Chain A
Amino acid sequence: MASRREFIRVSTLGAGGISLGIPAFTSLAKTFSQEDSPVFKSMRRTPTYCEVCFWKCAGWIYKKDNGDVWKIIGNDDDLHSNGRFCPRGTGGVGMYNDEDRLKTPMIRTEVDGKQTFREASWDEALGFIATKLEAIAKEHGPECIALFSHGSGGKYFGNLLKAYGSNNITAPSYAQCRGPREVGFIATFGEGVESPERTDIRDTRCLVLIGSHIGENMHNGQVQEMSDAIDKGATIITVDPRYSTAASKSKFWLPIKPATDLALLLAWIHVIIEEGYYDKEYVEKYTFGFEYLKDHVKNMTPEWAYGITTLEPQLIRETARAMGSASPAVIVHPGRHVTWYGDDTQRLRAVAILNALLGSWGRRGGFYRPEKVSMPAYPHPEYPKISRTWRDAFPGKYELADLALASGICDATIPVAERDCSFKAWIVNGTNLIETLPNQDNTLQAINNLDLLVAIDTMPMEITGWADVILPECTYLERYDLIRTSPHREPQIALRMPAVSPKYDSKPGYWIARELAKKMGLADHFPHENLEDLLDWQLKKMGSSLEEMQRIGVKTMAREYDDLYFAPGEEIEFYTNTGKIELYSTELEAKGFDPMPVYTPHEEPPDGYYRLIYGRAPMHTFSRTSNNPNLTDLMEENAVWINPKVAREWGLENDQYIHLINQDGKKTQFPIKVRVTERIRWDSVYMVHGFGHDQKKLKRCYGKGASDTNLISKVHIDPIMGGTGMRGNFVSFITEVEVES
């Protein structure tokens, strides 16, 4: 397909390149001069909460005497970090210092038949967007505008979109990540796991990890609590085809054949029921459908699972008993990135059922009841009525999705005959969709059908190369954001405030959204000129103040609703159809799905191919950190892990560069280094996600390592909630590689 929109890798015209008629660096209003304000001068440290990942740890930014950012450390009162950041958070200074940051607004233009970007003023860039959006809204309706976001800016641009008349607000963290987990748990307990996860790891006696590589994913609180659990002698059981860091800390490592986890879970359920290890009182009092379940798993013995998973029946029994003896202080961890094979909601249902049988939901050492603070809402004008949403593109499908699907909106951007309207504009804030959505051809086809793509980011990620307008957001070290209110053992609030003024001509997300709103005639929806005013109003209503929060950073509130754990004999009404924990899901049944999980075999790699498994490294958060000077210093490229047997067969050696090619002939764009290691099964290969960047403006990470997204062309959609299963791709090796020096 001839693409109308070219990917722009390098060239940017300076303001001098063409005559703009307006000076390029004027900003609309000078609202951020905090460094000069008295409160800043008197402070060596300022509170923040981290934006390098979604864990949002609260901490302090320290400055050197010359005013430069020095270091970031955790706030001791913070429940997310307990005063200790992870490497990415500690290295957050690199996000601010990165000289490759986006520096000024840019607009796509054409010079001598070639597409490029030219620098623009904020006034011009925002005016351009407002005019385009107006034309799109007029012709197609405002519902044809979608927002993709990851991080704090989502709230501001979301408000703008709703004010304009669109509710198509999405984040890839749902359908590409944790969505099936939430749906599986909601179907069982009537509530999701949420973020941070409500897992009571610090007090658990048995922690079961299924493909969840805590320690390599540095979800701070969980890593800390896993360490506490190790100290206290908890039994850790890790199920992973790869010998992960967590596996190396485990009493039991189950080197499962990939894609067979559901069979293992069902066999565990079988043993726990047959051998009477379940919490009888709890099951009796709180659950619905035990007899159906018992009957359902009757034949799903460890011997049955052995043939599927390659795990010894004895090991399956022994681990089931270990869980049973620890009950109820046991956590069968729901994981986080769970979009694997397309039956993910059902796999997570099995995880939920297992927890229910063990009585761990609502119990110490299992899952606690989190609580959060709701910030007082400032009155705003009513949003217009919305006549269409993304759901209209999928009649009768994915009804149990409780949030919008990023992949769904992407698909609904590509016009098809049966749909009268497709998406026409995307506003993308802080998410590099090229790398986060599977099937890159599909993503690019969608992008090519847009009338407008606005990318708001701190870094020139690939998505910005496809944008019509690029807006440079300042980093979290340079801005206020809304108060952090995420749920935890005790409700807490945390403040983020700027430690330094925005570098270059970058602006905070709130400012960008508000200035754009003004141009779109929606100023009423952003009544506060500065976020500080709103924060102070909210905080005062809660008995605190901006001034207090600037001093302490984090404030703990009293729990208001119920206790952290279920009280003995407590009467509980769960938010399910039956008011009980549903071992047998009436909701899934009503929607035409299996009420109890059923194992179905997944496709296996053809000869000469290996299942592609991807994951995280502790020092990176996807592509968000891949150019961070401090963090690339720790890890600058990924490698493909290959079992020595396979390496021998292919004549592969350590540190050799190769290409990977998948079942559809999709090849890695850049070569990747081989790591021959016993730590990976012979039927799989493994690589860390977030490398292989094709954007020359990212000087440190351009062309370093390979992108797994290049190889994820086959997607197994979860019929229940639309999650995109990404682990059904198989790769082979191309050993002849020319490496650019």
Chain B
Amino acid sequence: MRYAMAIDTKKCVGCSDCVVACQTENNVPIGFCRDWIVEVTDGTYPQLEMEIRSERCNHCDNSPCVRCCPTGASHYGDGGIVLVTPNKCIGCGACIVSCPYDARYSHPDGYVDKCTFCIHRVEKGLSPACVAACPTKCMYFGDLDDPKSEVSLVLKKRKSKTLIPEAGTKPQVYYLI
């Protein structure tokens, strides 16, 4: 099993609903977030192009954050999801520095927090909160090892990319372009 997400940049409008839905679902304190929006504009008026992306932890296959964690708090869970065990985490922040995507933050309660792919929902057969909330339905989640899963199908059909592939982290969040 390999959980992954595909996000359609052609449909995302950058509304940030995924951000609020994550914050409320996961009780992320106000002022922090596990997912965020990036907007990139290219060109000069009126020859313009724009890409909007909802970003989060990429649940990398080869994740520097897990490698550098001194306590084992950062670890791979089922389906390759990268997780942090709060009571094992000493808040040293090594993982925050190691992540090329700036996907982690220090929770005010003293541990490092980030996107969990909403594993507590996924275990119950629900999709992650951001995926379930997104008004444009531009996010797909599922098991890459299952060729019939929504995410496998859409990745087969559409062109996609990952972020900073040169970092060698093997991200599992894909952007449809």
Contacts and interface: CB of A to CB of B under 8 A. Distances in A.
A248 B30 contact: no
Given A224-B136, A629-B30, 4 more contacts: A91-B20, A226-B136, A230-B11, A243-B41
Interface in A223-248: 223-224, 226-228, 230-231, 243, 245, 247-248
Contact of B45 (A73, A74, A245, A643): A643
Contacts of A253: 46, 48
B124 to A, nearest CB: 14
Contacts of A91: 20, 24
A325 interface: no
Interface string B25-60: 100001101000000010111101110100000000
Contacts of A83: 132
A86 interface: yes
A85 B17 contact: yes
Contact of A87 (B15, B33, B46, B137): B15
Interface of A: 70-74, 83-87, 90-91, 93, 215-216, 218, 220, 223-224, 226-228, 230-231, 243, 245, 247-249, 253, 255, 618-619, 629-631, 633-634, 643-644, 677-682
A90 to B, nearest CB: 4
Contacts of B132: 73, 83-84
A618 B31 contact: no
B10 interface: yes
A231 B46 CA distance: 25
Contacts of A231: 11
A85 B129 CA distance: 12
Contacts of A634: 16, 19-20
B43 A678 contact: yes
Contacts of B93: none
A227 B17 CA distance: 15
Contact of B10 (A71, A87, A249): A249
A186 B58 CA distance: 52
A243 B134 contact: no
B23 A630 contact: yes
A250 to B, nearest CB: 11
Nearest to A93: B24
Which of A216, A228, A249 is packed against the most chain B CB atoms within 10 Å?
A249
A90 B136 contact: no
A227 B135 contact: yes
B133 interface: yes
A227 B11 contact: yes
A223 B15 CA distance: 10
Given A84-B137, A630-B23, A634-B20, A681 B45 contact: yes
Nearest to A254: B46
Contacts of A227: 11, 13, 135-138
Contact of B15 (A255, A618, A644): A618
Nearest to A221: B135
B21 interface: yes
A618 B15 CA distance: 5
B14 interface: yes
A226 B137 CA distance: 11
Given A72-B24, A227-B137, A679 B41 contact: yes
Interface size class of B (residues with CB under 8 A): 20 to 34
Contacts of B14: 215, 245, 618
Contacts of A618: 13-17
A215 B20 contact: no
A694 B3 CA distance: 48
Interface of B: 10-11, 13-17, 19-21, 23-25, 30-31, 33, 41, 43-46, 48-50, 52, 132-138
A224 B137 contact: yes
Contacts of B48: 243, 247-248, 253, 678-679
A85 B16 contact: no
A216 B13 contact: yes
A398 to B, nearest CB: 36
A90 B23 CA distance: 10
A85 B138 CA distance: 14
Ordered nearest first, which 7 A-B pairs have the shortest CB separation? A215-B13, A618-B15, A227-B136, A248-B50, A71-B24, A255-B46, A87-B17
A643 B41 CA distance: 13
Contact of A223 (B13, B20, B25): B13
Contacts of A87: 15-17, 19-20
Most buried by B among A72, A83, A245: A245
A677 B46 CA distance: 12
A619 B23 contact: no
Nearest to A633: B30
A619 B135 contact: no
Contact of B20 (A90, A216, A243, A644): A90
Contacts of B52: 245, 248
Contacts of B11: 227, 230-231, 249
A221 to B, nearest CB: 9
Contacts of B20: 87, 90-91, 619, 630-631, 634
A678 B39 CA distance: 13
B136 A86 contact: no
B19 to A, nearest CB: 6
Nearest to A69: B24
B13 to A, nearest CB: 3
Contact of A73 (B13, B19, B23, B133): B133
A507 B21 CA distance: 28
B53 to A, nearest CB: 12
Contacts of A619: 15-16, 20
Contacts of A228: 137
A679 B14 CA distance: 15
A119 B25 CA distance: 37
A70 to B, nearest CB: 7
A218 B30 CA distance: 22
B19 A255 contact: no
Contacts of A247: 48
B23 A255 contact: no
Contacts of A218: 15, 135
Contacts of B21: 71, 73, 90
